[in-house]
Amino acid sequence: MPETAEQPPATSKTARIKRTPKAPRQELPLLEHEKRTTTPEEVSLGFTLELAHAEALRCLDCKDPKCIDACPLHIDIKAFIARMVESDYAGAAEKIFEESPFPGICGRVCQSELYCEKDCLLGKGKLLPVAIGSLERSAADYYRQRGEAGLPPVAPPNGMRVALVGSGPASLIAAFDLVRKGYKVTILEALHELGGVLAYGIPPFRLPRDIIREELDHLRAMGVEFRTDFIVGKTCTMQELFEAGFDAVFLGTGAGLPHLMGIPGENLIGVYTANEFLTRINLMRAYQFPDSDTPVKVGAHTVVIGGGNSAMDAARWAKRLGSDTTIMFRRGRAELRARLAEVGHVEEEGVKFEFLAVPVRIFGDENGRVCEMECLRMQLGEPDESGRPSPVPMPGSEYRVPVDTIVMAIGQSPNPTVQRATPQLVTNRGKVTIDGGGKTSMERVYAGGDVVRGGSTVILAMRDGRAAAEAIDQALTAERETGLRPGRDGQPAIGAAPSNRIVAKRRLTPEISWLEVEAPEIARHWKPGQFVILRPTAESERIPLTLVDGDPERGTIVLVVQALGKTSRITASLEPGDKLADLLGPLGLPAAIHNAGHVLCVAGGVGTAELLPVAQAFRAAGNHVTVLCGARSTAHIILDEELRAAADEVLWSTDDGSGAFHGNVVELMRAWRGTHPEPLGAAHVIGPIPMMRAAAALTKEWGVPTFASLNPIMVDGTGMCGGCRVTVGGKVRFACVDGPEFDAHQVDFDELTRRTR
């Protein structure tokens, strides 16, 4: 909190200080306008001590305050404001810490106008309610600068352990409540950064990253452990969490699966989901463009579709990236769901609104880039299930708008990874079903937040996390007291992150490296066809690499990487002893291995390495396996010996004719088929898109069922951004969770080519 020369004097706690409820409500000072639309700096600057004191004095000090019950975390608002009135800002922070160690986060992002401020008695008449959210933030800012308040005490260890899956708001508050009661708590996060939606979804101009980090440090100081790059349902199963020694599991995996509208043109270049747009910018620092390894490109005109906080955040980013930006919403201003303060900021920053309109079709130019949008006017009708007036299309009102970038901010569903890997978990339209206390259909598994609600708010997710922590404590305490569940000493088997160390390296060609990497959990769980997402350095983009091998005994996996772009060049240049900054997996679905009789495996370039485990698996399933591979020249042939050990027959083509067959691998396929007319049960193709497209066209002619392992651009690799979407059989699929292997005869290769470009 910025200080002023005229700080209000500290007063005796017993002195009666006159309250001034009729004084005007203080508003947070804002960053100067010029910087607001050009930088990621925080826009709301926070109260000075003087302003905070003046606002605190507006509190009526009600005998029966309604604001406390209205706060989903039941923070003692009356008491913390009373301390501010007495200029005891550290005491105010300490009072908030009794219920929440995250006042800096909640004070910035909670929609207080829907909760505590809505029930503030001052606001029930003609006056505006006390700015409770801003005061909470002021106490947090004071604590950050002075550190004079103490966090609540932690009970001695009770010998019980709880795993919290996902590091978003629901898990964070559950961790706080459980660790205070003596539980050993481990938070498992799939991404490389902690905070869930706070980190990937909310921009730093609304919630600076150091606030998230510092308030997560409160949990660390209380003993909570964190593990990033760990995806439950992939890196381990739910059952394995219990086998590793956890007594209960809380699912706070959020709503990461972005919605699309299902209108023509949605997969054109320049159409983003809000998740992809915000993740690229917030998490992967695309705002540092042109230096960012994960850029996001906006054109001259951006239209953001939606009316929630994500729409406001995306629009404000687009504006900061230099685009003339409009938010298009199918209802009216009164129906916007975003925080009031953000709506105000959006307008102040020059973003326009187009209410009562909806896109129905998107048009692209000859390069597949979005260039125009057809929209329809709406009018408000009867209330729908959300309680808001429903948007009703006006026939014949179609109009077109030129646009270069579109961001779809129309909501999300729960990320399906844990649910798909845990069929015992009862769900309803993707949302995990719970009872009143947060318990799921599985013993000792609880859930809360967006994985239960679908997309909701940070503070409601925290309320759920708190309720589930209470239920977990009650259930485990009862078991402990009846002797059913004795406490244990020592660490659970899951906790410490693996080293991600390179233990061996081979140069297969000057550009292609074979790396053996220490990754015991991935080595234990991988299957042919799956991939990992890695970052060689903490500044790098996240890139997918197909798993080539994995040895559970040695606890290592094998990756083969071709130095093509910046990140793959850094990865290919790593040497034994070096460590990857991040490694997440195994991701995606395994290849569909079955006994088809005779299987044709086709690969080009570095795809040859990715084909190896698939060929091995088909052979192990009893198939006769023929492998056809293409390389530029004999000098570029890789893993020939391994392939020959894995298949019944291996043939190479080389572009320059230096090998046995002069031509590309599709020409080799045709030539091979000329002498092998016997029935083929299946084909599997991996490699550059033009090669997969041509190979698939050929096997379609032959009537051979064919799978292609697709390689679209990925950001998170967990189904969260929608950047990897491909059209298969007319349906949009996410390659990272629905693939990467798809029916090659159904893939829209034209679109894949455009999007990969």
The residues binding ligand FES (CB under 6 A) are 714-717, 719-724, 734, 736
Which SS3 state, helix, strand or coil, does residue 137 take?
Answer: helix
Give me the sign of the Cα torsion angle 119, 121, 122, 125. Answer: positive
* Whole-angstrom distance, CA of residue 406 vs CA of residue 273: 8
Q: Are 418 and 445 in contact, with CB atoms under 8 Å apart?
A: no
Place of tokens 């031509």: 663
CA–CA separation, 731 and 750 (whole Å): 14
State the minimum distance, in angstroms, from the CB of residue 266 to ligand FES.
14
Please list the alpha-helical segments (H only) found in 482-546. Answer: 520-525
Q: How far apart are CB 587 and ligand FES at their closest, in Å? A: 9
Write down the least CB distance from residue 44 to ligand FES, Å.
31
112 or 275: whose CB is closer to ligand FES? Answer: 275
Whole-angstrom distance, CA of residue 65 vs CA of residue 47: 24
Rounded distance, CA 106 to CA 96, Å? 11
What's the closest the beta carbon of residue 717 comes to ligand FES, in angstroms?
5
d(Cα 97, Cα 152) in Å, to the nearest integer? Answer: 7
How many Å apart are CA 730 and CA 608, to the nearest integer?
A: 29
How far is CA 441 from each of CA 38, 428, 447, rounded to the nearest angstrom?
49, 12, 10
Q: In this complex, which beta carbon is closest to ligand FES, that of residue 77 or of residue 533? A: 533
Distance CA 725, CA 719 (A): 9
Minimum CB distance to ligand FES, residue 687 (Å): 20
Chain centroid offset of residue 112 CA: 25
> In the bound complex, what is the minimum distance in angstroms from residue 278's beta carbon to ligand FES?
12
Three-state SS string over 706-724 comes to EEEECCCCCCCCCCCCCCC
The least distance separating ligand FES from the CB of residue 542, rounded to whole angstroms, comes to 8
Q: How many CA atoms lie within 13 A of 701 on its CB side?
A: 11
* Closest CB to ligand FES among residues 519, 724: 724
Q: How many CB atoms lie within 10 A of CB 483?
A: 7
**CB 195 → ligand FES: shortest distance, Å?**
18
User: E strands within 290-339?
Assistant: 301-305, 324-329
Minimum CB separation from ligand FES for residue 262, in Å?
Answer: 17
Q: How far is the CB of 484 from ligand FES (least distance, A)?
A: 41
Nearer to ligand FES (CB atom), residue 256 or residue 391 = 256
**In this complex, which beta carbon is closest to ligand FES, that of residue 309 or of residue 711?**
711
Of 607 and 723, the one with the shorter C-beta distance to ligand FES is 723
Q: Which of residues 287 and 734 has its CB atom nearest to ligand FES in the complex?
A: 734
Strand partners, 583: 534
Closer by beta carbon to ligand FES, 252 or else 712:
712
Whose structure tokens read 């050993």? 184
CA distances from 584 to 188, 388, 532, 588, 748 (A): 12, 41, 6, 11, 28
**What pairs with residue 186 in β-bridges?**
163, 225
**E-state strands within 189-245:** 225-227
Does residue 680 come out as left (phi exceeding 0), alpha (psi in the -120 to 50 range) or beta? beta
- Rounded to the nearest whole angstrom, what is the least distance from the CB of residue 531 to ligand FES in the complex? 11
Phi, psi of 564 (to 5 degrees): -115, -55
- Identity of the residue, 204 or 722, whose beta carbon is nearer to ligand FES in the bound complex: 722
Q: Quick one: 108 or 280, whose CB is closer to ligand FES?
A: 280
In whole angstroms, how close is the CB of 192 to ligand FES at the nearest point? 14
Residue nearer to ligand FES on the CB measure, 307 or 719: 719
Choice between 459 and 721, CB closer to ligand FES: 721
CA dist., res. 353 & res. 357, Å (int): 10
Q: For residues 44 and 205, what is the distance between their CA atoms, to the nearest angstrom?
A: 8
